[in-house]
Structure 1
Amino acid sequence: MNSPNLASGPRAWRARALAVLASLGLALGLLLGLPAVSQAAGSLPCDIYAAAGTPCVAAHSVTRALLSSYNGPLYQVTRVSDGATADIGLVGGYADAAAQDAFCANSGGCRITKIYDQSGRHNDLKPGPAGTAGMGNDRGADASEIAVTAGGHKVYGVWISPGVGYRYTGVASGVAVNGQPEGAYMVASGTHVGSACCFDYGNAESTPADTGNGHMDAVSIATTCYFAPCTGNGPWVEADLENGMFQGDNGSNTANQGNKSTFVTAVLKNNGQTRYALKGGNSQTGGLSTWWDGALPTRGGYQPMHQEGGIILGIGGDNSNWNRGTFFEGVMVSGYPTDAAENAVQANIVSVGYSGQTDVPNGPQGTVTGPGGKCVDVAADDTGVNGAAVQLWDCQTYAEDQHWTHNPDGSLSTLGRCLDIENNGTAGGAKLELWDCNGVGGQKWVQQADGSLLNPQSGRCLDSPSGATANGTRLQIWDCNGAAAQKFGLS
């Protein structure tokens, strides 16, 4: 058995004492309403964990530095228009959102194509490969889909929609394998959530395949009640240990009340042999609630664990990428963290002052509203492959595929592709689809004074056949006639 606290002697005692003092000091400041110093040297999450003897082996954030000595890039963005890339670094310890805005402006947008590891181990995350779940390669998140505030700075989150996900494929440096102890946390949305598989962050298979119970050790926040009964409707902080989203012991845990705050700190630690713990808290205020601290599942394969040392974000171990969520920061550590260290990390997170909505896209995109007040939508739930049907559907604030960017060349894009006419057609009745942006005439749309959207190449307008308003109505082009079936408003 791996004990959670094997270190001894003066140095280890001093490290534990420092972690406790850090926790008490930060907590006292919060209670007294004193000004928080969010980026003080030595007080960031990886500093706190290292002082407690459980150093970060992976640290990913698109909002801020997680280690006081780190001054490298946080993430990389790639422009849709020309494939050019730029690293987004730090200004005063926080992401340089202005640099991203300048680079991505008037280009059809950008995608986040790499999230850098701040631990020094180069465990960087990139869009993941196809896996045994049957989904194709993951795509990078729209870089400007969701903006919030951290430390008084505008920053962007990682908006996870179905089809978006990241992975370190292989065995990441220092990450636990074969029953070694580890811990992890992430700050994510408690409002942009779903029940599908899987919005995870943490240890996963080294290849995108389900290799059996105990081969994953990732923290999740979702409305997935995998083992009934569950209390309320969630979302719950859960442990994805492969083939189960566990809230405690063998799955169900009615003591888990869930975490519904706008920003949630989700914490998981696992000694790899017999014990794991789950905690959750509001990332804007207060401390952590312990939802489980006890035995690993006895279902078979979990005692001991069989972690493989891969890293995932926003997906499951087999690349199940059907869920949604919003990610801001997270780390993985070597060893079983102390409660004092986790409390100090939570106090530091609170001191950052995260604010804003986390469930509504607020970037440069807008909706296109058509007949019946329905939204122009891409079939197949945000997956956005070439040839996906474009249709009418009930407007949903969280649906990425209903938020379109009106580009300088007259195209409309979402999910990294453009609103397109099948085969670049011009005939009346030609169907609308999603396709790679390529500048052809079938991808140009001009708003007219009467509220219609004209495709200049064909001389025809975006149209709902016979003025239909039902969900799933496939859109087409048709002779412009000023009818209600051709009224499409850009917002």
Structure 2
Amino acid sequence: MTKKDIILSAFLATTAALVGAIACGEYPVASLNRNPVGAGGSPSSGAGGSPSSGTGGESDPGSSGGSSTELPPNTATLPCKVLGDAGHECVSAHSTVRVIVPGYDGPLYQVQSDAGVLDIGSVDGYANAAAQDEFCTKSCVISIIYDQSGYGNHLTPAPRGSAKATPGLPVPADWLPVTINGRSVYGILIKPRYGYRAACNDCPYPDPSTIPSGVPVGDEPQTQYMISSQHDLLHGCCFDYGNAEITANNDGNGTMEAVYLGQGVIWGNGVGSGPWVMADMENGLFPGWENGSFKNISTNTPVNFDFVSAVVVGDTADKNDGKGRFAVYGGDANATTIKEMYDGIRPERPGYVPMQKQGSVILGIGGDNSNAAGGRFYEGVIALGAAEPEVVNALQVAISEAKYGQ
């Protein structure tokens, strides 16, 4: 069996035991159906959208409420196809909007209400939001964001950490409606006190014996991106997606490396008034490093777009004559080009060369569970290796094909 198979088997076998005692609160899993539903959605498939089935599942790609023939076809190249073809395997992939990993046919996320839980699958590669609407007649929260990569890094409400001693809250499921290629779906709107985490000491997923699960550790290179927005950003620490500490504590400089979007709180900034794409490497938000500082980085310009592509590439300590390397990119998620905001040495401070990444995965919070930030999240990926600029450019073209807001 491959490591992915082992993780999936452990996930399915231990779900019942985990849901009763997770530190993040009681957010039980319904099912992880990795088999597509055949035409007609027979009850034996374990799908079909009935609350009693515990899953929103997949539906026949040829039908969605009788109107799918009127919708534009899904012709977008998937982000993890681009990265994978370039040798950068996706080891963490999350979206409540769409499928972003080729061949993935499991649920995208889970909603929970007083009536129970429901896994939300996909229709023609997009989230089956109609199943959520039918199930959530009252209030619902997003209790799990499933990892499409196969490594089991399923995001659940964040456990307590050194910066915030209380667990994070699950986001209400209907806070961020969005249109993508003619489909109505839901993103995730982070506000203070809300946030998610996976692969930490107190996280229910993946199985503790597999932590960290695929995500780079130490000075291993990685490529990360998220799709966000200039809207609903809050000036607090820290609206991140990416690699963080498994302890949920501040373990020092270089113990995390995640994508950040915002004004930089008390740390770095670019030119203009922001927002800027930066790398959160613990104890600092870095838009770059210039003249011995992370302030006023001359090449990092604001990303004032309704849908923002934010990319951070973390390379190894041997680059730039032993000073390490990281790169930051940002742009309009609907454009076919993305700007290189910075590509150079790592911060000239202790701990950042070499890096000491730990391999947990966070969304909407800092590595130490700082949760005073806010922002919009639509999708995000952690992939192995430092992608070259031409790969980042190809990734951006693929993202633009998704047609966010259209």
Residue from 135, 144, 157 that aligns with 1:127 = 157
Deviation, structure 1 residue 92 = 0.6
Q: SS in structure 2 opposite 1:57?
A: strand
Residue from 168, 181, 190 that aligns with 1:151 = 181
Deviation, structure 1 residue 228 = 5.7
TM-score normalised by length of structure 1: 0.62
Q: SS in structure 2 opposite 1:352?
A: coil
Contact 2:93 2:380 in 1 (8 A): yes
Q: How does 1:264-343 map to 2 (within 5 A)?
A: 264-273=308-317, 274-343=324-393
- Structure 2 match to 1:221: 261
**C-alpha distance in 1 between matches for 2:168 and 2:316:** 29
Deviations 1:220-250, CA, capped at 9 Å, x for gaps:
0011254466422211001000000001124
2:123 matches 1:91: yes
TM-score normalised by length of structure 2: 0.75
Deviation, structure 1 residue 135 = 4.0
RMSD (Å) for aligned C-alpha atoms: 1.7
Task: List structure 1 runs of 4+ shifted beyond 3 angstroms.
Answer: 36-40, 225-230
Deviations 1:41-78, CA, capped at 9 Å, x for gaps:
xx311111110011100100010011221111000000
Deviations 1:405-448, CA, capped at 9 Å, x for gaps:
xxxxxxxxxxxxxxxxxxxxxxxxxxxxxxxxxxxxxxxxxxxx
Read off the aligned partner of 1:164 and give its amino acid letter. Y
Residue from 233, 256, 263 that aligns with 2:273 = 233
**C-alpha distance in 1 between matches for 2:212 and 2:279:** 20
Q: SS in structure 1 opposite 2:133?
A: helix
| Residues 96, 37 of structure 1: alpha-carbon distance in 2 compared, 3 angstrom cutoff | closer
**C-alpha distance in 1 between matches for 2:232 and 2:103:** 32
2:99 matches 1:65: yes
Contact 2:111 2:144 in 1 (8 A): yes
2:398 matches 1:348: yes
**C-alpha distance in 2 between matches for 1:229 and 1:319:** 22
**Structure 1, unaligned stretches of length 5 or more?**
1-35, 357-491
2:102 matches 1:102: no
Deviation, structure 1 residue 180 = 0.4
**Structure 2, unaligned stretches of length 5 or more?**
1-71, 201-210, 318-323
| Residues 212, 233 of structure 1: alpha-carbon distance in 2 compared, 3 angstrom cutoff | same
Contact 1:128 1:319 in 2 (8 A): yes
| Residues 228, 285 of structure 1: alpha-carbon distance in 2 compared, 3 angstrom cutoff | closer
**C-alpha distance in 2 between matches for 1:237 and 1:116:** 25
Q: SS in structure 1 opposite 2:143?
A: strand
Higher relative contact order (CA 8 A, sep 6+): 2
- Structure 1 match to 2:18: none
2:288 matches 1:258: no
Structure showing greater radius of gyration is 1
Read off the aligned partner of 2:241 and give its amino acid letter. Y
**C-alpha distance in 1 between matches for 2:336 and 2:182:** 19
Deviation, structure 1 residue 285 = 2.1
- Structure 2 match to 1:422: none
Deviation, structure 1 residue 255 = 2.2
Q: SS in structure 2 opposite 1:132?
A: coil
Among the aligned pairs, what percent are the same residue? 43
Contact 2:108 2:119 in 1 (8 A): yes
2:102 matches 1:52: no
Read off the aligned partner of 1:247 and give its amino acid letter. P
**C-alpha distance in 2 between matches for 1:256 and 1:230:** 5
Deviation, structure 1 residue 300 = 1.0
2:146 matches 1:113: no
Read off the aligned partner of 1:188 and give its amino acid letter. S
Contact 2:263 2:269 in 1 (8 A): no
**C-alpha distance in 2 between matches for 1:327 and 1:134:** 21
Tell me the number of residue pairs that the alignment of Structure 1 and Structure 2 aligns. Answer: 316
| Residues 229, 159 of structure 1: alpha-carbon distance in 2 compared, 3 angstrom cutoff | closer
Q: How does 1:152-191 map to 2 (within 5 A)?
A: 152-170=182-200, 171-191=211-231
Q: SS in structure 2 opposite 1:342?
A: helix
Deviations 1:105-149, CA, capped at 9 Å, x for gaps:
1x2x10001000111111111001011113411011110011011
